[in-house]
Amino acid sequence: MTDDPRMENRDGREEMVRTQIVSRGISDEGVLAAMRKVPRELLVRTEDYRCAFYDGPLSIGCGQTISQPYIVAYMTELLGLGSGDRVLEIGTGSGYQTAILAELAAAVFTVEIIPELSERARGALAAMGYSNIEFRTGDGRDGWPEEAPFDAIIVTAAPEYMPPAMKEQLADGGRLVIPVGSSAQYIHRIVRRGDDFEDDGLIAVRFVPLTGGAIE
- Distance set, CA 209 to CA 124, 132, 156, 195 (Å): 25, 28, 9, 28
Q: At what angle do helices 96-104 and 115-127 cross, to 10 degrees?
A: 50
**Between vectors from CA 42 to CA 132 and to CA 82, what angle results, nearest 5°?**
35
DSSP 76: H
Residue length of the chain: 216
Alpha helices in the chain (DSSP H): 10-16, 29-37, 69-79, 96-104, 115-127, 164-168
182 assigned to active site:
no
5: number of Cβ within 10 Å: 7
The active-site residue, picked from 23, 67, 118, 183, is: 67
What positions carry a catalytic annotation?
67
